[in-house]
Structure 1
Amino acid sequence: MTGAALAILVTLLALAALAWTYVSTQSGSMTMSAGADLASFAIFLTTWVVMMAAMMFPAFAPVVLVYAQYTRQRTRTWPLLAAVFVAGYLMIWSAVGVGAYVLVMLLVPLIVEIPVVRAAPQVFLGAVIGAAGLYQLTPLKDALLTHCRSPFHWLFRGFRPGVRGALLMGIDEGVVCLGCCAGLMLVLLAVGLASVGWMAAVAAVIFSEKVLAPTPAVAKGVAVVLVGFGIAVATIPAVAQFVMGGSPM
């Protein structure tokens, strides 16, 4: 690993560590208990973006290293391009944060008033978790996860030069990452954004899938765990009570 690559890796991991520190002290703001005013939205979105940096940067770091090393051979402005690449990636997760805010503030209150959901919220929550597990087994998940594990073919085949190109490539990577992690993010939204423990668990799964043990068996194992967990939430009162303590449902 070159000195430049090491510097990028250390920077990303340091930012992730700082983000975890911030989130651990500010996670209560993810409950949005203060209402739907602009200040509450700003606090939520800021915390959300920092939370995404904490969760995603460790698994995203290898992709940034590939991009930085590729651009370093072609231009002296590679540090700027790498930063713009990361910014483009975070733009996608910022947009998701806006959607999450709208979902929890506007849609969840409507969902919980549906008679079936109101009668058995634990069954609905278990079904959501189980659906996230089944998503792990889909061809779409497999294709996106394959891309996340090995971005070289995408980088060399679709490289876009310049600042605009770096931004667009970062956005593309964010979209792919979102699709890959959609099921896991759904679980996080369902069980409670304010829990650092759930965030750490989801982040660990994402890192394992993409970096630590990049084999198809990991995604399938996660699917089995999520489906089993969903069934447990739906059928075992003690499990449902534990999970729903931080859930918006």
Structure 2
Amino acid sequence: MTTSPVQLPLRSILWVLFFAAILGAWAVMFMMARMSGVDVIGRPVGMNMMPMTSFGALFPMWAIMMAAMMLPTMIPTLRNYEALMKSADGTRAGWVGVLIGYFVTWVGFAALISVVQVLLIRFNAVDGLGISTTGWFASGLLIVVGIFQFTRAKEICHSVCHSPMTYFLGHWKTGFAGGLRMGLGLGAFCVGCCWGFMMLGFVGGVMSLLWMGLATLFMIFEKLPEIGHRVTKPAGVVLIGAGVLLAVL
């Protein structure tokens, strides 16, 4: 796609801000992990742990985590939107709208999973650092998420995440409001596709930078056009196997 001299600086600025937001979110998560007294795998170290047990403390953490983990997976989607800007009357405002709509959806999920974590803490399923307190809960979660990889719901949601161009062509709206609407829709399908990997944070601790990195990397692979459809079911097999192994140990 060619850009005019006026468009090029704006495009560059927006992409730089986008990547800066990702790096900033990861930096904040690193500092929060250090302040919470956990190591890179999410396990407590020392005596200076700062458990988070209230919605007010958990929601900002999860919202920042959504930015750190999910914004990198959106790069193919934003590139697909750019490919349609000239032929379908797209705009940079629409590009921003797609980005904001997508992130707003994941912030909504952050609120939901924060409530879930509060309930899990109250029922003693996880501790104040979001680490599973029982092997059966961690095992069951691994198996459930693994099984979901084989469901029709996963297939439908993944097909949209895997091919955002198809979604754009079927739901194209111009301008910022149109981009926002499409971003909300894409975000909803993405939540439907990836919610399980967020829940897996409770297996080893939601403050685990190792889990965050591995989950982010896998979700990026899952959305790549060339290989995305080839990794979904193998991942399900691995998760189910890990859950069964954990249950028998």
Same fold per TM (> 0.5)? yes
User: CA–CA distance in 2 between the matches of 1:195 and 1:50?
Assistant: 14
Residue of structure 1 in register with 2:150 after alignment: 137
Find out whether 1:219 has 2:232 as its counterpart: yes
Percent of aligned pairs with the same amino acid: 26
Question: Given that residues 137 and 220 in structure 1 are in contact (C-alpha distance below 8 angstroms), is that contact kept between their aligned partners in structure 2?
Answer: yes
Residue of structure 1 in register with 2:68 after alignment: 54
Q: Equivalent of 1:16, from 17, 22, 37?
A: 22
Shift of 1:64: 1.1
- Give the TM-score, by structure 1 length: 0.78
- In structure 2, relative to structure 1, the CA distance for the partners of 1:58 and 1:110 (3 Å cut) is same
Which whole-Å deviations, capped at 9, do the CAs of 1:89-133 have from their partners, x for residues lacking one?
1111111111111111134422649xxxxxx92123201111100
Q: Equivalent of 1:33, from 48, 51, 54?
A: 51
- What is the correspondence of 1:4-153 to structure 2 with a 5 Å cutoff? 4=8, 7=12, 9-27=15-33, 33-36=51-54, 41=56, 43-71=57-85, 78-110=91-123, 112=125, 121-153=134-166
**Which runs of at least 4 in structure 1 moved beyond 4 Å after TM superposition?**
1-6, 8-11, 28-32, 72-76
Shift of 1:162: 2.6
Q: Equivalent of 1:207, from 206, 211, 220?
A: 220
Gaps of 5+ in 2: 37-41, 43-48, 127-132
Shift of 1:35: 4.4
User: CA–CA distance in 2 between the matches of 1:108 and 1:213?
Assistant: 40
User: CA–CA distance in 2 between the matches of 1:86 and 1:211?
Assistant: 18
Which whole-Å deviations, capped at 9, do the CAs of 1:148-197 have from their partners, x for residues lacking one?
12111211121112322221111101101001112212212443211111
Shift of 1:80: 2.4
Residue range with higher mean Cα deviation, 212-221 or 55-64? 212-221
- What is the correspondence of 1:228-243 to structure 2 with a 5 Å cutoff? 228-236=241-249
Shift of 1:73: 5.0
User: CA–CA distance in 2 between the matches of 1:85 and 1:217?
Assistant: 27
Residue range with higher mean Cα deviation, 124-133 or 60-69? 60-69
User: CA–CA distance in 2 between the matches of 1:17 and 1:2?
Assistant: 28
- In structure 2, relative to structure 1, the CA distance for the partners of 1:212 and 1:146 (3 Å cut) is closer
Shift of 1:221: 1.2
Shift of 1:214: 2.2
- In structure 2, relative to structure 1, the CA distance for the partners of 1:232 and 1:212 (3 Å cut) is farther
CA RMSD of aligned residues (A): 2.9
Higher helix share: 1
Question: Given that residues 194 and 219 in structure 2 are in contact (C-alpha distance below 8 angstroms), is that contact kept between their aligned partners in structure 1?
Answer: yes
Shift of 1:34: 4.7
Gaps of 5+ in 1: 114-119, 237-249
Residue range with higher mean Cα deviation, 62-71 or 133-142? 62-71
User: CA–CA distance in 2 between the matches of 1:2 and 1:111?
Assistant: 56
Question: Given that residues 160 and 186 in structure 2 are in contact (C-alpha distance below 8 angstroms), is that contact kept between their aligned partners in structure 1?
Answer: no
- Give the TM-score, by structure 2 length: 0.78
- In structure 2, relative to structure 1, the CA distance for the partners of 1:214 and 1:14 (3 Å cut) is farther
**1:194 match: secondary structure:** coil
